[in-house]
Each structure stands twice: as structure tokens, then as C-alpha cells.
Amino acid sequence: MAELGKKYCVYCLAEVSPLRFRCTECQDIELCPECFSAGAEIGHHRRYHGYQLVDGGRFTLWGPEAEGGWTSREEQLLLDAIEQFGFGNWEDMAAHVGASRTPQEVMEHYVSMYVHGNLGKACIPDTIPNRVTDHTCPGGGPLSPSLTTPLPPLEISAAEQQQLGYMPLRDDYEVEYDQEAEALISGLSVNYDDEDVEIELKRAHVDMYVRKLRERQRRKNIARDYNLVPAFLGKDRKDRERATRRKVAKEERELRLRLRPLCQFLPCRELDELFESMHKEKALRAKIRELQRYRRNGITKMEESAEYEAARHKREKRKESKGLAAWRRGREDGREGEFAAIEHLPGFELLSDREKVLCSSLSLSPARYVTVKTIIIKDHLQKRQGVPAKSRLPSYLDKVLKKRILSFLTESGWISRDAA
């Protein structure tokens, strides 16, 4: 006699209490899964009759030897939870499965059965590693925090923070570079029915967003490195740093302006070292040319160079005096050519046509005119800045020549009329 409360297969007499198949056309015909699968027939029951699955949700999918004894009902809730909450939200998944399962049990069962088990091996292609990669680990992925680590807060006052829209605890601004960058990923979601094209498109969106974050951080680093924030706020820190450096010539300043795009590739210190190296290179090239000139003239010792330079200056001075005398004789003799006498003098090529006419009319050599012009313009600029002029005009410049040169510089726009 069968025990009370237990059900048995009418064909093989095995216990079918957890799961059985009941015929909807024959009375009291219940089969076990094995006999039902084999198409067993008994009495008037036929294999093609309709059937009903009788299940209380207590049988296991993985067999009685499976660890933990998960029932079919719990397996169904687990699959619903992984689809609803996503991989990794074990606490929410455990609450969905039921109070009898802890988050640790849910994680271990899913990973062992559905990822590393036979089901995972059959469903996951060999081209996809059967493991989970944390892309947010430091230095280990495209979302690593080390790629966009915030810098220390700026040391500025509360009023300056408000002016910049700067939030020191977050080290960011109310309006960031490429403010709409987050729109690329704000609407992204991963669905299990996504096609390969959709997945690749979403990955491209994430990649573009990461690139924008890197560019945003790079611009902040440049602003910190070159002290752009204090310069914007009008602080004199940068001016004090510049005051300690050497004076930069006009030609070198123009070169630095042309090379300004390099600021985005080099830190401030390395860029300054580059400019200093270029300045040293130029000085060394000039020194090499000077030494080569000494060698061509038979000078092999540095103490001999002083005598050579003194003799060279005397020769140039005599040449200038001879040229000026020849020019004066040419005017007296009525020689042809307006600039015949001064066109071979040093500095002639530096003069404009009007300056050549002036020097010819004043019987003034180009070199002396350039000297006087430089002194007058320097005095004028110092007076405009409130600095008293201390320079003195050369002795060969009398009042008539000075007046003529001042009038010429005023008419040409070099100095203002109040200075004349």
C-alpha cells in the first residue's frame, strides 16, 4: 500500500511527488518525467494525449547532488532578478529570490552554475573570456579613476570661487569644458536582446565620453601648471615669478609667441627649459662664429682678441671718417647721385628713403643718425612712463641738428608733438 501523501508513477511505480505529468484525458494517470519522455502507454492512455505539469516548485534543476538544493521556483526567481537588477547587484537579487537566500549564496550559485558551469560553457562562446573584468580598477581599464584623478583644490578666496563658479570640494566648475559631454551616456542601457551593432555603438559612446573626460582633465592640468587661474584673477604671483627671470629680447619674445601651441604638450617647467636651451644655443652659435672669425685672422689665444677688436674698431672709425669726407667732397664737387657719399657707410641699409634724404641734407653718417634716433625715442618712452630721462645726446649733435631730427621724428610718428 502506498504511503499517505506520496504520489507514484503508474507505469514504473517510482515516486513522483516533486514533479509529475498528469494526463488530461485519462483519469488517475500520472507519469514520472522519465516515463513521460519515453512515451509510455498504459491501458487507454496514449502518448499523444494532452498532459498537465504538476509541480509545487520544489524539484531541483541540477539534481539532488547539487550544492544548496535550489528549487526550480528559486531558479526562476534568480533568472528574473539577474535580468531586472543586472550582474553584481546581489543584495537586490537575494531579496527578490527570497529571505532564505543570502547575497553570498546568490552570487556563488549563479557564478558556479550559470557562468562557470556546463550551462555557461554551452551559452558563452569561446571568443568571450569566461570571466568578469573590472574596468574601474586603478590603472587597469578605460574607466580607471587614476585617469581622471582630481587635483588638490585651488587656494583662492570664496569670492574668487564664486567668480569662477569653482567648487573646491569637487575640484570642478559649474560650467566645464564640453558641458554636454554627459549626454553621450546619460541614456545608455544594456539589454540582453541588443544586437552586435547596438553593442558596438554603445561602446563607441562610452569611448567618446572617456576621451572628453581626459581632455577636460588635461585642460585643468594645463591651467594649474601655467598658473592661468591666478593670472585670470589678476594676482601678481605670476608677475613676481617673471621678475626673477632674465630679460627677454624682442626677437625671443616673438619666437615664444610662435611656439605657444607647444604649451598644450609640455608642462610649464619643461617649456621654459626648452626656451632657455634655444637661447643658449643661439648664444653658442654666435660665440662659435666669433671664434671662427678670430681663427681666420690668425688669432689663437683669447688675450689676443682684445687687441684685435680694438684695432678693428679703429679701422671702422677711419673708414667711416673717410666715407664722410668723401661724401662732403662729393657735395662740394657736385658729384652725381644723391646718396653716393653715404651709401657705402655702415648702417646705410637700415635707413628708409626719407631718412637717407635727411642724413644727406644734414651731412650726418647713418650710424650717428641711428644712435641719435635711438636715444631720443628711448627718452620719449621713459618720459611717458614717468621715468626721468638720464641719457645725454652725443657731443657732435648741436641744437640745429637736434631740432631737425626731432621735427623729422615727429612728422614720421615716432614721437608725439609734445615731446618735440
Coil, strand or helix: which one is 116? Answer: coil
Segment 400-416, tens digit of pLDDT: 788 888 888 888 878 87
What is the C-alpha to C-alpha distance for residues 100 and 89, in angstroms, rounded to an integer?
Answer: 17
Three-state SS for 30? strand
Residue 164 CA to residue 172 CA, distance in Å, equals: 10
pLDDT, position 69: 75
pLDDT at 144: 56
Q: Identify the segments of the chain with pLDDT beneath 70.
A: 1-5, 17-18, 56-59, 62-68, 124-151, 234-246, 323-341, 389-391, 417-420
DSSP 123-153: HS-TTS-SS---TTSTTSSTT-GGGGPPPPP
Instruction: Determine whether 23 is exposed, middle or buried from the number of CB atoms within 10 Å of its CB (0-12, 13-18, 19+).
Output: buried
Q: What is d(CA 231, CA 237) in angstroms, rounded to the nearest whole number? A: 8
Are 60 and 70 within 8 A, CB to CB?
Answer: yes
Place of cell 569653482: 166
Question: What's the pLDDT score for residue 336?
Answer: 44
For residue 321 the three cell numbers come to 671718417
